[in-house]
């Protein structure tokens, strides 16, 4: 297995300028179908019209509180659940089109789940789990097992010790390494990591994050890294997308977002990170309360009930994504110069 | 990774862990109650298989002069029945039909019921709803009543009572199979297999069956005792085995007239039914315990 880089990947179709993943107008609402026994009316707007793209070779970090639609977005991209609306383009081709059928797509996009135990079949040994993918895509048993051992080695698990083990016999960090090896077994180009390190303790988390950085380099991968941990996302990501109640509120390169966030929600999230600097302690709780119910999201800007900057404009007009700095977009009336937000006029 | 760079397929031999079933077996062996139950079951099964070699007398040959002898009569260790036939021999031979009628309907229902339940749960959606509502209709009838009604409609006979008992057990097993499969199919590893592009049949074979058949099987073993009692009941009512064939339920029926003259002898077939079914139940409990230690 020679090292693959993003630049010389033979599977590249669209060229370096085409994003590896391009998502447009993605919508998913849950519930609402009035069945025979009720359950009618309430619609959860899990993902409510989002656009984003992931460039080849980059890591896009997706952050947000619980229930903001991060995991739903991952499942929609993976085609585990069907979107209500929207297009997903992979390397310039629509998923499910003649040029890129679902099976071909799935060989190129894989996912690592949060729960390392639930995502491994308790009846299969580690090597059988990792070899399953190559096996069903037509590799011989011997070749699949050899590939599994190779991958176990790559994720830092000595095949001689671990290949014959069952999931309950190994630790959480080791299980997550097995999950990563399983995801890599189909030679994907895009890896979606859905809270992949959130359940691990801090020292193991750091090891797995470093492993992910090494694998990204060695296998020429592109990552979609979903987490609620801001330190992790800063360490891992080239670009960051912040979600709130099914909407993208801010997206852009890592550094500008961390240095000068464009959206008050992002600013609040960042200031909620515990500070270790005694001269710069967090004095007041930047965000209070839970996110509003996605069944009935607030009108206008969805963040306005919790926002310190909110004005009457925010409660009835929904802000569009506007450029806060180059390539850095935020959906806030304070960013668009013509929005008419009173604080802009005062400034 | 360097070992693979040469291009050759190099597979190291990893340390093998103990498989799931061998660990279940190891825990089961340590359970004295389950082992005692298993020993009793084996004893009864072996006695039934080798009946011609063990039975002291012909189970069909009676004598009018030595009817209803008590337990301990020389030559007739467990006495004689109402037609003067040796009761011990009839009990040994009777195990053949009683065990057959206890196990066969459960085995058939295990195959049919698991298929229905796993199919319904895996397909899900309205198919699942329709299948399970039809199954629910069968739960409206008490199982004894359903077995009697079906046997009565089909007519007396061993085959018909097996069919009717199978129909009684299929819904119960399908219900369990459906709930276990629904739990399993929603776990992340099934989703991971789906996103790796595996076909549904492959996912069911590799990832679902191994996790659901065990629990369904344990439930099915607990039904063997019910099946034995129901089939004995059918024979008792004249809907199952016909005389003079030895079968514990039928023997209980024909001996009931002797309940005042030879109560101990008359109770023996019932005792056999009791011992066998409780052994199956205790073994099933032990199996469940041994399998539940971890998922």
Mean pLDDT, 10 residues at a time, chain A of 347 residues: 63 80 90 55 82 92 87 90 89 84 88 90 91 90 92 92 89 93 93 89 90 92 91 90 91 89 87 72 65 78 83 83 85 77 66
Residues near B5 by beta carbon (within 8 Å), at least 6 away in sequence: A1, A2
Q: Which of B14, B15, B202 sits opposite A136 (nearest CB)?
A: B202
Distance from CA of A183 to the nearest CA of B (A): 8
> The whole model's pTM is what?
0.81
Task: Residue A13: name the closest of A131, A97, A114, A79 by CA.
Answer: A97
Q: What is the CATH number of the domain that holds B121?
A: 1.10.3720.10
Number of structural domains (chain B) is 1
Q: Give the pLDDT confidence of B31-81 residue by residue, as tens digits.
A: 999 999 999 999 999 999 998 898 887 888 877 777 777 777 777 788 788
Q: Give the pLDDT confidence of B116-159 residue by residue, as tens digits.
A: 999 999 888 899 999 999 999 988 888 888 889 998 899 888 89
Q: Which of A78, A109, A153 sits opposite B1 (nearest CB)?
A: A153
Using the Cβ of A81 and the Cβ atoms of chain B, whether some distance falls under 8 Å is answered with no
Q: Give the pLDDT confidence of B227-241 residue by residue, as tens digits.
A: 988 888 888 888 888
Strands A322-325 and A328-330 come out as antiparallel
Q: Where are the beta strands (DSSP E) in chain A?
A: 21-31, 43-54, 59-63, 85-90, 93-94, 109-112, 190-194, 222-226, 239-244, 247-253, 322-325, 328-330
Output the CA torsion sign for A263, A269, A272, A276.
negative
Return the structure tokens found at B125. 């959606």
List the alpha helices (DSSP H) in B66-157: 87-123, 125-139, 143-154
Whether the ω angle into residue A123 lies within 30 degrees of 0, i.e. cis, is no
| Residue B11 falls inside a structural domain | no
Read off φ and ψ for residue A119, nearest 5 degrees: -90, 10
Residues recorded for chain A = 347
Which chain A residues touch B14 with a CB distance below 8 Å?
127, 149, 159-164
| Residue B14 falls inside a structural domain | no
Output the CA torsion sign for B186, B190, B192, B195.
negative
Residue A112: count of CB within 10 angstroms of its CB: 26
- DSSP assignment of A182-240, as one string? HHHTT--SEEEEESTTTTS-HHHHHHHHHHHHHHHHHHT-EEEEE-S-HHHHHHH-SEE
Distance from CA of B198 to the nearest CA of A (A): 6
Residues pairing with A22 in the sheet: A53, A89
| Residue B137 falls inside a structural domain | yes
Return the structure tokens found at A97. 């089109």
Distance set, CA A275 to CA A95, A280, B65 (Å): 43, 7, 102
B17 and A119 in contact by Cβ < 8 A? no
User: Could you give the CA distance from residue B217 to residue B171 in angstroms, rounded to a whole number?
Assistant: 14
| Residue B65 falls inside a structural domain | no
ipTM: 0.82
B211 and A149 in contact by Cβ < 8 A? no
Return the structure tokens found at A47. 């993902």
User: Could you give the CA distance from residue B120 to residue B124 in angstroms, rounded to a whole number?
Assistant: 6
Cβ atoms of A63 and A227 within 8 Å: the answer is yes
Task: Residue B83: name the closest of B59, B60, B63, B56 by CA.
Answer: B63
Range of the domain at B92: 21-57+70-291
Q: Domain spans of chain A?
A: 263-275+296-347
Residue A32 DSSP label: B
């Amino acid at each position: 297995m020679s090292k693959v880089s993003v630049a010389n990947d033979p599977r590249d179709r669209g060229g370096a300028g085409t994003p590896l993943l391009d998502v447009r107008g993605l919508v998913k609402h849950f519930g609402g179908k009035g069945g025979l026994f009720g359950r009618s009316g309430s619609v959860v707007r899990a993902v409510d019209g989002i656009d984003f793209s992931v460039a080849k070779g980059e890591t896009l970090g997706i952050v947000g509180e619980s229930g903001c639609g991060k995991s739903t977005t991952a499942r929609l991209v993976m085609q585990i659940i069907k979107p209500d609306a929207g297009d997903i383009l992979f390397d310039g081709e629509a998923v499910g089109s003649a040029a890129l059928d679902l099976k071909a797509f799935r060989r190129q996009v894989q996912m690592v789940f949060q729960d390392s135990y639930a995502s491994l079949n308790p009846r299969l040994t580690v090597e059988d789990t990792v070899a399953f993918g190559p096996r069903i895509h037509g590799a011989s048993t011997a070749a699949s097992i050899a590939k599994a051992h190779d991958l176990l080695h790559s994720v830092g698990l000595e095949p001689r010790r671990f290949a014959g083990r069952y999931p309950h016999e190994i630790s959480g960090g080791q299980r997550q390494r097995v999950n990563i090896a399983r995801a890599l077994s189909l030679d994907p180009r895009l890896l979606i990591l859905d809270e992949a390190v959130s359940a691990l303790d801090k020292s193991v988390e750091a090891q797995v994050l470093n492993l992910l950085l090494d694998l990204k380099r060695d296998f020429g991968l592109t990552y979609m890294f979903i987490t609620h941990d801001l330190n992790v996302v800063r360490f891992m990501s080239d670009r960051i997308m912040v979600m709130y109640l099914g909407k993208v509120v801010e997206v852009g390169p890592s550094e500008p977002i961390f240095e000068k966030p464009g959206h008050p929600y992002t600013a609040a999230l960042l200031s909620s990170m515990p500070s270790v600097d005694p001269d710069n302690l967090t004095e007041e709780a930047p965000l209070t309360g839970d996110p509003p119910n996605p069944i009935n999201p607030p009108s206008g800007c969805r963040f306005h009930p919790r926002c310190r900057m909110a004005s009457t404009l925010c409660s009835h007009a929904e802000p569009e994504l506007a450029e806060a700095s180059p390539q850095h977009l935020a959906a806030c009336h304070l960013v668009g110069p013509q929005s008419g937000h009173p604080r802009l006029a005062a400034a | 990774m360097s070992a693979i760079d040469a291009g050759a397929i190099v597979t190291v031999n990893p340390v093998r862990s103990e498989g799931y079933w061998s660990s279940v077996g190891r825990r089961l062996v340590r359970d004295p109650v389950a082992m005692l139950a298993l020993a009793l079951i084996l004893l009864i099964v072996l006695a039934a298989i080798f009946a011609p070699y063990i039975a002291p007398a012909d189970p069909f040959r009676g004598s009018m002069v030595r009817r209803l002898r008590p337990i301990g009569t020389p030559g007739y260790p467990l006495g004689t029945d109402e037609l003067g036939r040796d009761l011990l021999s009839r009990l040994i031979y009777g195990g053949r039909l009683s065990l057959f009628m206890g196990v066969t309907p459960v085995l058939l229902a295990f195959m049919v019921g698991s298929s229905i339940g796993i199919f319904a749960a895996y397909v899900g959606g309205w198919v699942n709803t329709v299948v399970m509502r039809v199954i629910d209709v069968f739960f409206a009838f008490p199982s004894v009543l359903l077995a009697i009604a079906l046997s009565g409609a089909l007519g007396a006979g061993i085959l018909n009572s097996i069919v009717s008992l199978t129909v009684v057990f299929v819904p119960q097993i399908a219900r369990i199979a459906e709930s276990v499969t629904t739990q399993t199919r929603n776990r992340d590893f099934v989703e991971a297999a789906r996103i790796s592009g595996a076909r549904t049949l492959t996912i069911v074979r590799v990832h679902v069956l191994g996790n659901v058949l065990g629990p369904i099987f344990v439930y099915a073993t607990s039904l063997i005792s019910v099946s034995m009692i129901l089939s004995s009941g059918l024979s008792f009512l004249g809907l199952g085995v016909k005389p003079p064939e030895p079968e514990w339920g039928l023997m209980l029926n024909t001996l009931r007239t002797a309940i005042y003259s030879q109560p101990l002898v008359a109770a023996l077939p019932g005792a056999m039914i009791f011992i066998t079914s409780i052994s199956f139940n205790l073994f099933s409990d032990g199996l469940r315990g041994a399998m539940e230690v971890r998922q």
